[in-house]
Structure 1
Amino acid sequence: MSRFLTLFSAATLTASLGLASAGGAQPMGNGLVSLPSSYSVGETLDRVASAAQALDFGVAARINHAAAAQKVGLELRPTEVLLVGNPKGGTALMQCAQTAAIDLPVKFLAYQDAAGQVWLTYNDPAYLMSRHNASGCNEAFAKAGGALKTIAMNALK
């Protein structure tokens, strides 16, 4: 499949999944989906972990960047990353394009911006499909996109 068709397929997949416009999403234009959260950064990721586990995703790691910054005498607004994965779904993506492994397990970022708004951000699977030139894998990436959107929406309820 040509690069143009892969990009077209990724754009079509994004539109069909509603990822770029999901309930209050802030389109980033760089493959990220960002949604406002009414919870703190920590509570947002606690809720993501619960929503992910309900869909048979395991939690691989949680990284508190603000706490790490504080340990070296620096300040950072609340910023945490949660890595979650589902080997069945992730393997399907890697079978399509093995380089997708660099983006797995899936990362959910929760951060507080300068105005105090908390955001939940994750990679758009349609963007990842294009990034890794995964042709003929629309179904696998669409399924991943649906799962991530469900996790995010359930966490932000």
Structure 2
Amino acid sequence: MTFRRAKDLATAVLAAAGVLAALQAQAEVLGKAVVPTEVIYPGDPIGSRQLEEVDVTNPNLAGDYAKSIGEVSGLVSKRTLLPGRTVPLSALRQPFAVTRGSNARLIMSIGAMTITAAGTPLDDGAIGEIVRARNLDSGIIVSGTVLENGTIRVVSK
């Protein structure tokens, strides 16, 4: 493309500047998103060193994705997370407080009476989840809520 006059060149420069301004307006930052800096595999705990916050410029980005490192750090991945891709909140879970086959303390309270027993969880469970467990002394299977310290509060039937 050749320009015959300086006026034509000036017009072309102004047109290019207008296109550039339009592209910059489209690249407006719409918020933040969390993306991994390395591959995170299912079952891996997620640390803040594996993540970074990036600006979201795509207005078509949909879904419930993590917007800050704080809401992701310490959770566990349920599926493979790839570098540079947003982290969907549905791909995360709380870490298990009890694991299937390990030893756990079973607690049952009825009024002022508290009964404790040794047990083994039959399911993996995070804090607040209901899991099944086997009483090691009697062999009876009970259900209970997982507590912060890894004990299981048995629910009466």
The TM tier, using the shorter chain, reads under 0.3
TM-score when normalising by structure 1? 0.20
Q: Greater relative contact order: 1 or 2 (C-alpha under 8 angstroms, separation 6 or more)? A: 1
TM-score when normalising by structure 2? 0.20
- Bigger radius of gyration among the two: 2
